Amino acid sequence: MMRAAPQPGLPCDRYMIILNTVEMYVMDKNAAAARQSVETLRQDISEGKPRRLYVLHGEERYLRDRMLESLRALLKGGSADFDHRRLAWKKATVEGIRAAVDTPPAFSEYAIIEARDFDFSGAGESDRLSLCRLFADLPEYACLVFVFDTLEYKPDGRTALGKALKKYACVVEFGLQDEAKLVKWVAAHFKRLGKSISAADAKHLIGMTDGYMAGLCNDIEILASYTAGSAVTSDDIDAVVTPTTEAFTYNLTDALARGDYDSAAVVLDTLLRMREAPHKLIYSISLKMRQLLAARVCLENRQNAAQLAKMCDIRFQFQANSLMSSARSITLDECRDAVSFCAQAAYAMNSGGGEEELIKLLPRLAISRQTRASAV
């Protein structure tokens, strides 16, 4: 969403709350639509009544692939792959799709036609019109599934093809899962492997990863093999799982908010030793500092962690809780200073500076905070 400039006379912090409230409303509507489409596909599979046209896309590929496997199993009905027609990336043409659709199944009730990364926007006018006609007249035995891996699914709703997709297709977006669903999924996955995990430790594991189910699946299997006892604990997780850059930057933000610059320096040194690109690190640190400022603004305006999570599009509630807790240890002016210094460091790095700008950032934050404290 493009951001307009603050209105004259409207305080910047207040403007941020108003703007984020509007964005929160839009995100809530989009998230609700995505949840509904996933449940629609799940219901189609459970009832054994597949639709003729699906579009599957989104960031959570693990969940998408599991649902796609279930859809394939339903459509093939235990038969061989003969009636499963795959049209690979860059090989899926309109003519190929139509030929696959027009061929009836040989050994099962349905023919599943799977086209990956078909570029709707790059199709010529005649191809777009051909697809519109195809979507309107798909045979009962056909289930045409468009799957997007590398290309983004972004149809133009103003065009005839965009309107046809909206009318005839069940568009399913597999977004990243929220905290509650992931905690249940993690516990269930460990149970299948003969282990248990508490909700708090499951959140700890999620917080150390990027929250993608495929990565979590690998970590869960490694932890299940590593843990001697029946229960997986936070000590086991810390011993086995390598935290992501985001997890480290949350620790860095927390240390800076407490004024514990020694711990902050240790975290920063670890990040640099991970060979992460300095520009990526300053982006991540700056983002967390802006979120910390937002948390402080929420406290000033008697808003809670749930409102902060929606305002800043924070995936996990425990991360929002942590930011709110950290914000209680720092003033609004100190948060503003931190955001400003991060912006200056980023500008210096984009102007030719390197990781030394990150190293200089910590003492600048410490000196600024001590100066404000002594001035009170």
Residue 139 is given by DSSP the state -
Q: Is the pTM of this model over 0.75?
A: no
Mean pLDDT lowest among 11-25, 160-174, 327-341: 11-25
Name residue 338's amino acid: A
Terminal C-alpha separation, the chain: 40
Q: For the CA atoms of the chain, what is the radius of gyration?
A: 25
In degrees, rounded to 5, the angle at the alpha carbon of residue 137 between the alpha carbons of residues 136 and 139 is: 140
Read off the pLDDT of residues 185-214 as tens digits, 9 standing for 90 and up: 999 999 999 999 999 999 989 988 888 898
Strands in 170-173's sheet, in edge-to-edge order, are 84-87, 111-116, 142-147, 53-57, 170-173
**pLDDT for the residue 232:** 94
Q: CA distances (Å), 308 to each of 204, 217, 284, 346, 362, in order?
A: 20, 29, 18, 25, 26
Picking from 199, 208, 160, 159, the residue whose alpha carbon sits closest to that of residue 181 is: 199
Q: Within 328-355, where are the H helices?
A: 332-350
Q: Name the more confident of 212 and 53.
A: 53
Name residues whose C-beta falls within 8 Å of residue 320's C-beta, 6 or more positions apart in sequence.
295, 305, 306, 308, 309, 312, 314
Residues 179-240, CATH architecture: Orthogonal Bundle (1.10)
The CATH homologous superfamily of the domain defined by 33-173: P-loop containing nucleotide triphosphate hydrolases (3.40.50.300)
Q: CA 219 to CA 227: how far, in whole Å?
A: 12
pLDDT tens digit string along 215-259?
Answer: 899 999 999 999 988 999 999 999 999 888 888 888 888 888 888
Q: Is the pLDDT of residue 151 over 90?
A: no
At 17 the pLDDT is: 44
Q: To which H or E segment does residue 143 belong?
A: strand 142-147
Segment 289-320, tens digit of pLDDT:
899 999 999 999 999 998 998 888 887 888 88
pLDDT for residue 26: 37
Give the per-residue pLDDT at 351.
85
How far apart, in whole angstroms, are the C-alpha atoms of residue 291 and residue 100?
50
Question: Which tokens go with 30?
Answer: 């989009």
Q: Report the pLDDT value the prediction gives residue 293, as an integer from 0 to 100.
A: 92
Among 37, 53, 56, which residue's Cα sits nearest to residue 148? 56
Local structure of 144: helix, strand or coil:
strand
Cα 286 from Cα 306, distance rounded (Å):
21
Q: Give the three-state DSSP class for 46.
A: helix
Length in residues, the chain: 376
Contact 186, 62 (CB under 8 A): no
Question: By the 8 A CB rule, do 300 and 332 touch?
Answer: yes
Residue 363's pLDDT band (boundaries 50, 70, 90)? confident
pLDDT greater at residue 193 or residue 86: 193
- Give yes or no for residue 79 having a pLDDT over 70: no
Enumerate the domain spans of the chain. Answer: 33-173, 179-240, 245-375
Position 329 pLDDT exceeds 60: yes
**For 245-375, which CATH class?**
mainly alpha
DSSP, residue by residue, 238-256:
HHHPPPPHHHHHHHHHHHH
pLDDT > 60? residue 16: no
